């Protein structure tokens, strides 16, 4: 299980949420007043961590949502190929390959360099090179 539960009222901007099975960073939260027979609603706008797309959610503020558990780690670049980077985790010494689609990150990466990456819900992404 790579996520936890939280009520929408406890979330803040720049926290994380799972929308449509995609971990996202919250960009804005708008709440409305409760109606005569209803409860307050919240509208969340978020950007996907891995797909980069805009996601939105409208729900009561007492509704429970999934919050991804994000593991931020350090790694060392072992080798580079076209769009593939082979990385060794600096704490577990596990090696794995990551596909890098952003050319600006790929230009900064050199062999032997230390990088930061995140892992959540079975996916990994380089955050800082």
Give the integer Cα–Cα distance in Å for 88 and 111: 11
3-68: which CATH topology? Answer: SH3 type barrels. (2.30.30)
The predicted-structure confidence for 81-106, as pLDDT tens digits, reads as follows: 888 899 999 999 999 999 887 788 88
The predicted-structure confidence for 19-58, as pLDDT tens digits, reads as follows: 999 999 999 999 998 878 788 999 999 999 999 999 999 9
Element (H, E) at 84: strand 84-89
| 71-128: CATH, from 3.10.129.10, 2.40.50.140, 3.40.50.300, 1.10.1370.30 | 2.40.50.140
Say what the pTM is: 0.83
Which pair of tokens denotes residue 89? 């985790």
């Amino acid at each position: 299980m790579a996520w936890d539960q939280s009520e929408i009222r406890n979330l803040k901007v720049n926290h994380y949420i799972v929308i449509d099975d995609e971990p996202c960073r919250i960009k804005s939260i708008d709440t409305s007043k409760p109606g005569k027979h209803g409860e307050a609603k919240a509208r969340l706008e978020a950007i996907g961590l891995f797909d980069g797309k805009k996601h939105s959610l409208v729900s009561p503020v007492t509704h429970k949502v999934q919050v991804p558990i994000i593991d931020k780690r350090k790694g060392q670049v072992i080798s580079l190929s076209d769009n593939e980077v082979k990385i060794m985790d600096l704490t577990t010494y596990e090696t794995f390959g990551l596909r890098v689609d952003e050319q600006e990150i790929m230009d900064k990466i050199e062999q032997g360099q230390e990088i930061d990456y995140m892992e959540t819900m079975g996916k990994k992404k380089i955050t800082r090179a």
